[in-house]
Structure 1
């Protein structure tokens, strides 16, 4: 079976579904395809932090500003796709005070709201916080439920005419005269799509799809472990206030907390080692902030793979540097109707989608403006409806498995 579409979006994570939503709202005929269920890749296997920008403030001001703006937008449009927590950066006795000071000053310069408190005040807010916390800083971090977020974006895209095809892996691509003319789908789809334009939003798999198109995208994927343990009552996200390292974040999830993470290069984002040392190191380092997690019962463990862009990683030195996103127009590779979007983070998915949709609309001659920052996601105030979207699109990832559907279980 053959079908035609103005824009074929490959990849069903937050960025891909966000692109489909944006384009559909601008009146573009869109088909989104995902090889598994929605959120089966990087988006659904993250730690779920809604960044305020504070983590990157002293290293990359523009990216921190983008995080802050998108944080505010997502709180406005996302409803029950986010949890309204705060964030607390904690300085332990062995941590460098100058780093804390630099982060605080950078946050203030960027307009990221902060409040510095001493160790006693921090422990009053988080009673189990380590005794050697010298001081801490409140920031407007939050928590994202990526399964709900991706499913809600897909549902909104569909409401505006898009076709959402899950379990539809790309099996072949035909390029003629410098343009993609057809994309063959396997799995449940078993059809050939003839697109006017193609967007590669496949995260760490972007290089493989680009190869099929005849373009080049150099990726440097890295894996990171997340460990969810039983712990009830933590309100804020906890961040270790030091240079980014293993085990420096704790994300609250109701009766659980998610401990993260590591950063280890992988050759194949589908086939990589799940090393026990990563779990041990992550738990040990997170317990330096919140000691009870060291012995808390483990609920589940999962790894995610970051879609890092090799040229940026090589130029900027890898971990510890803020990672923005890159929109690659493959016209320079001799493929005029295809682009790839790589890098970035969950918090800025909507901005990545808007930038990509702008390029696609320019190529298609569409002049409609982006509306995704202003229109609430469908089901935003109805958790049960959001969870129904997740089930419909087979979109449950491990990040928020304890939260999605929790209202109906209570």
Structure 2
């Protein structure tokens, strides 16, 4: 898309999407495929925030099955969609939920039954049978549930999604930070006033004003800061998590500890490394927060209970991410009690400010579904009656890892989550 000069306005578009993670690029792709004119801006390279600092697990839904069946159902549905469209953005490893000696057998049974009730494929195996296929498992493993988890490479997934959006006419701009949002107020004959977000000032490579019919805030953990530029109070509840990668070429199955979610209960295999995760600690600022070294040691110690060969391994790389959690009820029950579901915030209904929508929460696995919900909402506002097609069209480069990694470099989408795979 080329810049269009209209009087003193440098850029005009139907929709401005702020944020270049999985959800933001997904929104741009969905809208562009429906024929909507879209501009996306990201302050850094694509996937530079939460998306590129995840553990890269493509959830089967099993992790949430007994506690959040609706969220689990969304995960398994999107898991199946992404397997159809994302190709080499994923790695089909399968997964185990692992019960160690001393872990609650009732919790295992409840998760198993919940998975089966939701149509999530489950195969229960003894510890002995599991070690025949995954010899690295501890002798303390009593039984496992095999479930359809997989690995997602966030950098490839975001870059391919952005390329699809661009192929359908969207303009994608990296190194283009939002610096301000602008609103107009109209007064009706009866004296009532309507306020609407109508434009944004964008710095960096764009360095201009962008006027839009609608603005989408897809900035994840930074959604509160973005909304504040429109005078909106949007209280996020971000939590930090550490991921630790160690060298290991043998393990080839996602492992989850079958217990209540806790620190150090996920092992995600890459090609020559495994990523161990993670913690969940509330933070006030998604850009500045403590990164204690003891958390790294804890990841290795906890995950070594499932895979003893990890004990004493030196980290090959360590990275931290911040989850974009939103807790409208302010439950105060701790970071792990906050829902991992997503929330679409219509600021016209919520704050009497039109032309502005925020999408918060959610998971990498459900990013396409989140984007579809946003696109449905925005299209309804714009009077666009075109159905979503993002679940049906494969992503560009899905069948060629070399093409995907070139897109990662082009969009500056390289991130610590999968750096060992993409080389970017």
Matches of 2:220 and 2:208, distance apart in 1? 23
Q: How far did residue 335 of structure 1 move?
A: 1.3
- Mapped contact 1:224–1:262 kept (Cα < 8 A): yes
Q: Is residue 2:39 matched to residue 1:31?
A: yes
Cα deviation, 1:363-397, whole Å, max 9, x if unaligned, reads 11000100000000010001111111110110001
Q: Which runs of 5+ in 1 are unaligned?
A: none
Q: How does 1:171-182 map to 2 (within 5 A)?
A: 171-177=179-185, 178-182=195-199
Q: Which secondary structure state, in structure 2, belongs to the residue aligned with residue 303 of structure 1?
A: strand
Q: 1:325 — aligned with what?
A: 342
Q: 2:108 — aligned with what?
A: 100
Q: Which secondary structure state, in structure 2, belongs to the residue aligned with residue 102 of structure 1?
A: helix
Cα deviation, 1:306-334, whole Å, max 9, x if unaligned, reads 00002256277641565110000001312
Aligned pairs, number: 406
The TM-score normalised by the length of structure 1 is: 0.97
Q: Is residue 2:141 matched to residue 1:123?
A: no
138, 144, 147: which is aligned to 2:152? 144
48, 68, 71: which is aligned to 2:56? 48
Q: How does 1:2-401 map to 2 (within 5 A)?
A: 2-177=10-185, 178-312=195-329, 314=331, 318-319=335-336, 322-331=339-348, 332-401=350-419
Matches of 2:335 and 2:72, distance apart in 1? 17
Q: Which runs of 5+ in 2 are unaligned?
A: 1-8, 186-194
Q: How far did residue 172 of structure 1 move?
A: 1.3
Q: Which secondary structure state, in structure 1, belongs to the residue aligned with residue 353 of structure 2?
A: coil
Cα deviation, 1:261-300, whole Å, max 9, x if unaligned, reads 0011111000111111211111110010001112223210
Q: How far did residue 199 of structure 1 move?
A: 0.2
Q: 1:317 to 1:238 in 2, by over 3 A?
A: same
The TM-score normalised by the length of structure 2 is: 0.94
Cα root mean square deviation, aligned: 1.2
Q: How far did residue 235 of structure 1 move?
A: 1.6
Q: Which secondary structure state, in structure 2, belongs to the residue aligned with residue 213 of structure 1?
A: coil
Q: 1:220 to 1:321 in 2, by over 3 A?
A: closer
Which stretches of structure 1, 4 residues or more, deviate above 3 A after TM superposition?
A: 315-318
- Mapped contact 1:100–1:242 kept (Cα < 8 A): yes
